[in-house]
Structure 1
Amino acid sequence: MKYLNLAYLRKYRLTSKTLLTLVCLSAGILATSCQGGGSDGKQSSAKDNGLKLGSLSPTTGDLSSIGQNWPIAVKLAVDTINECGGVNEAPVSLVTEDTQTDPSAGSSAMTKLAEVDKVGGVVGAFASSVSGAAVDIAVRDKVMMVSPGSTSPVFTERAKKGEFNGFWARTAPPDTYQSQALAALAEKKGFKNVSIVDINNDYGVGFEQQFAKAFKEKGGNIVGKPVRYDPKAATLDSEAKAAFGSKPDAVAAILYAETGSVLLKSAFEQGLTDGVTILLTDGVYSDDFIRQVGKTADGKSIIAGALGTVPGADGKALKSFTALWKEKTGKELTAYVPHNWDATVLMMLAAEASDANTGEGIKSKILDVANAPGTEVSDACEAMKLVRQGENINFQGASGNVDIDQNGDVVGSYDVWQVGEDGSLSVIDKVNPVSNK
């Protein structure tokens, strides 16, 4: 074994830990010191078994129209990295769970991933209420959680208080910024009087409060009190009437797809939508939502002309990722798919950089691989190659530059979208809120 020098190590791309194992085996040593993971050998076991990741996606429930493609994007990232050598010299495995867009189901799924499957990291969830329920479990069990879609400002506030201990991040920007984008859109369109209706959860209420503040700062007027609806209510007729009845210039509707479609259809059937522009957000950006709302007697979309905002994707890797997505799935790119890809790739890069397949390992390096300084690289396999060689990198994602700050937040751009008379969705503009960090 004396000939296993540095040149040999480089030639065969062996890590120092692999060399230690060879030395121990050669000497017939079975002592704890050669197990590589401390006295209990836990880290060694994690390395030997390979990195295991989990996915928490809403493939059923109120956000399923957007969430169907999420686990596909996560698996595509895992498959891509496995095809170029895996992480820490072993293939990455993936366990996928459906949150049902329900905090209780999401909490149970997170508990399973953390305590039964023993994952090191989790991509998810989407609904902020689900992530809010799951993140405490992740922190307790030291599992890194990166959400590609939970946008409530509550997570920033909790992170500032130190509640997450670094085990939380997201690749979608918080609604602190999207609310500013929607307020800027309302101002640009000349709306003076806007009412608000929102789903009564962390996402809806957080967005509502931030939007109201931003719109008032621009000189706008919020009509009446914001209307908060219970997603489990039998009907939403009274909520629709309260939001639209005063005939504002526009209604900022912060909704989820299934329940939101019921509310807007009710407003139309009550004759309340004529002359009122509907302002929508990312929670309903899907063709399924438009179909759920329905059509008029002459075949036009009930909400034709509605405008909305959604976190856009403008990263250096977007073009190549879009081509890969179409090649592997045959589908068009949908909302938050690039954010899922980026979240998954970042965790795999961090695990490699830390030389550990654990949540603590991922946590310790995720900001390093996401931010400067380091070589800017957008190709996932090239990024992994550089990390294996011990180089510092600044990963440039498909969704954006994914520069994650100490609170786990990124700043993104926003697409402005519009509903056509035929129910089609089209991006018509972009808006970039000014960062207030």
Structure 2
Amino acid sequence: MKKRFNLHLFLTIFTISILSYSGCRKTDNPIKTINPITIGVILPMDQEKGLLREKALRTAINLINSSGGVGDGQMIELVIKSSEGTNREIVAAQAARDIIKSNKNPVGFITSFSSCSKGVVEQVALPENYPVVSGAATSGVLSSISPFFQRLCPPDAFEANVLMEQANAYGIERIAIAVEDGETFSTDLANAFQDVFGAGASPKVSFSKSDPSYATKLDQLLANEPDAIFISMLSPAVYEEFITRLSELNVDDRLINTSFILCDAFYTNNILNAQIGMMVGEINGHPKNFGAMPAADTTTSPFNCFQTELMKQFGQEVASYNAQFFDIGFLYAMAIEKTLLNVGTDDKAAFRVRLEYWIRQVSHGESGDPVVMPSLGWKSIKDACQFGGVNYQGASGNCDIDNQGNTIAPYSIFTISGTQAGYSLETIRMVFP
């Protein structure tokens, strides 16, 4: 009986000891969780293009995360904020601050409009060293604004030249300029166009929604009987009202021989619902309206990969600047991968500084660096990043970011065609730099 008792006591004490040891081991070495790497994204979510660009960006990030993410399995997390407000520059800067305050590991930002980009760069990126990449900010004032800012689109001067050359080809000599009052992109593009077109461009006339001086300003705009009106406006509410007021003036066909030159913001389905009948048709054998916007070569494998994935994931056709936001997702992921090789995430400030360097570097690489593209798959791109330098070729075409933070991309000349039964956006031709 004594032996049985001793054996039972021994087994009980042994079991308790094992459980106690296991409990200590669990406390001393908790399961390590890997925090995601956060990128703040500020888009015009009050407009159709905001959601379309978000989905284009998420298409890239979903491909990356589903193939193992970056580093040792870290996922990339997007935190989306809207720039909606009367002053997008101020709203975007505050949104960036909110993202930094509310998230553990934000490493940089992605922006859209020029006004938003300017606010984030000047009020957040510059003082705190956060990289910012824009897919659609074209304002000339952003060139060389900071080594922490870059964009996958040309500055306004490039678009202005494309529009000027098309106007000259159509024999347009006198142009009135209507601009959205107080909007950065609209003003800067109008200034650039006025400069390149020269003496034939009349002084700009600014318009705002429900402007009490609308009638007077329209008379001023049309005073010299222009051959064309250049409309440099970003907000649908502003340019739709402008077109409606022009339509009301056209009851006696006053504008029947007037052409309309459109900025890239008009390449959206929103415009097809406006009163655009007076703008559609032909004058002297050429389209009565035309515009220009950055456009990718749709025959390349990177673009086809993006187009297929965007439709597969979201059922979405490629819209304006969508390819740029898709490419930004891959540029950030490659730059993060390279940064993780030599800087840990514990020193957040050092990580962001190094990340900024790699964003520009992976966009073009050095002579002899292997070409990588989305159609190769993220695992192949990640392996190449770990081995050495890379040269990225994206869906949007040229992604080479220069020392001013700019990228020069192909443009398409587009027009709105059709009848009241249905209008559509059509490409006239491509312009390659």
TM-score range, shorter chain: 0.7 to 0.9
User: Are residues 1:376 and 2:371 paired?
Assistant: yes
1:65 shift after superposition: 2.9
- CA–CA separation in structure 2 for the residues paired with 1:273 and 1:411: 35
User: Structure 1, residues 184-222: CA drift from partner, whole Å, max 9, x if none?
Assistant: 111111111111111233212211121122222xxx611
Give the match for residue 105 of structure 1: 91
Query: Aligned runs of 1:65-84 on 2, under 5 Å?
Result: 65-84=48-67
Give the match for residue 138 of structure 2: 151
User: Structure 1, residues 139-170: CA drift from partner, whole Å, max 9, x if none?
Assistant: 222221100001000101xx2xxx52x21011
User: Structure 1, residues 349-402: CA drift from partner, whole Å, max 9, x if none?
Assistant: 101111155432320211211113221111251553234432211100111120
Give the match for residue 428 of structure 1: 428
- CA–CA separation in structure 2 for the residues paired with 1:231 and 1:265: 12
Aligned match for 2:114, one of 115, 128, 131: 128
**Secondary structure of the residue that 2:64 maps to in structure 1?**
helix
* Residue type at the aligned position of 2:279: I
Query: Aligned runs of 1:380-391 on 2, under 5 Å?
Result: 381-382=378-379, 384-391=381-388
In terms of fraction of residues, the more helix-rich structure is 2
- CA–CA separation in structure 1 for the residues paired with 2:385 and 2:178: 50
- CA–CA separation in structure 1 for the residues paired with 2:96 and 2:380: 29
User: Are residues 1:182 and 2:163 paired?
Assistant: yes
Give the match for residue 42 of structure 2: 56
**Secondary structure of the residue that 1:69 maps to in structure 2?**
helix
Give the match for residue 409 of structure 1: 406
- CA–CA separation in structure 1 for the residues paired with 2:212 and 2:67: 51
RMSD: 2.3
8 Å contact from structure 1 (residues 316, 396) kept in 2: no
Aligned match for 1:347, one of 311, 332, 336: 332
8 Å contact from structure 1 (residues 236, 262) kept in 2: no
8 Å contact from structure 1 (residues 86, 92) kept in 2: yes
- CA–CA separation in structure 1 for the residues paired with 2:128 and 2:264: 31
8 Å contact from structure 1 (residues 353, 387) kept in 2: no
Give the match for residue 262 of structure 2: 280
8 Å contact from structure 2 (residues 334, 382) kept in 1: no
**Closer, same or farther in 2 for the Cα pair 1:174/1:253, shift >3 Å?**
same
Give the match for residue 393 of structure 2: 396
**Closer, same or farther in 2 for the Cα pair 1:244/1:265, shift >3 Å?**
farther
**Secondary structure of the residue that 1:270 maps to in structure 2?**
helix
- Give the count of matched residue pairs: 370
User: Are residues 1:330 and 2:295 paired?
Assistant: no
Give the match for residue 264 of structure 1: 243
**Secondary structure of the residue that 1:85 maps to in structure 2?**
coil
* Residue type at the aligned position of 1:177: F
Give the match for residue 289 of structure 1: 271
- CA–CA separation in structure 2 for the residues paired with 1:181 and 1:236: 30
- CA–CA separation in structure 2 for the residues paired with 1:127 and 1:415: 20
Aligned match for 2:174, one of 145, 170, 193: 193
- CA–CA separation in structure 2 for the residues paired with 1:193 and 1:247: 8
- CA–CA separation in structure 1 for the residues paired with 2:218 and 2:120: 31
**Secondary structure of the residue that 1:335 maps to in structure 2?**
coil
TM-score (norm 1): 0.79
- CA–CA separation in structure 2 for the residues paired with 1:78 and 1:176: 31
User: Are residues 1:238 and 2:216 paired?
Assistant: yes
- CA–CA separation in structure 1 for the residues paired with 2:215 and 2:51: 29
Deviates more, 1:201-210 or 1:47-56: 47-56
Give the match for residue 95 of structure 1: 79
**Secondary structure of the residue that 1:49 maps to in structure 2?**
coil
* Residue type at the aligned position of 2:190: E
- CA–CA separation in structure 2 for the residues paired with 1:204 and 1:401: 25
- CA–CA separation in structure 1 for the residues paired with 2:216 and 2:295: 34
* Residue type at the aligned position of 2:256: D
User: Are residues 1:360 and 2:365 paired?
Assistant: no
**Closer, same or farther in 2 for the Cα pair 1:346/1:370, shift >3 Å?**
same
Q: What is the identity percentage for the equivalent residue pairs of Structure 1 and Structure 2?
A: 21
TM-score (norm 2): 0.80
Aligned match for 1:418, one of 415, 421, 428: 415
Deviates more, 1:185-194 or 1:196-205: 196-205
- CA–CA separation in structure 2 for the residues paired with 1:330 and 1:235: 44
User: Structure 1, residues 241-270: CA drift from partner, whole Å, max 9, x if none?
Assistant: 322343211111111222011112111211
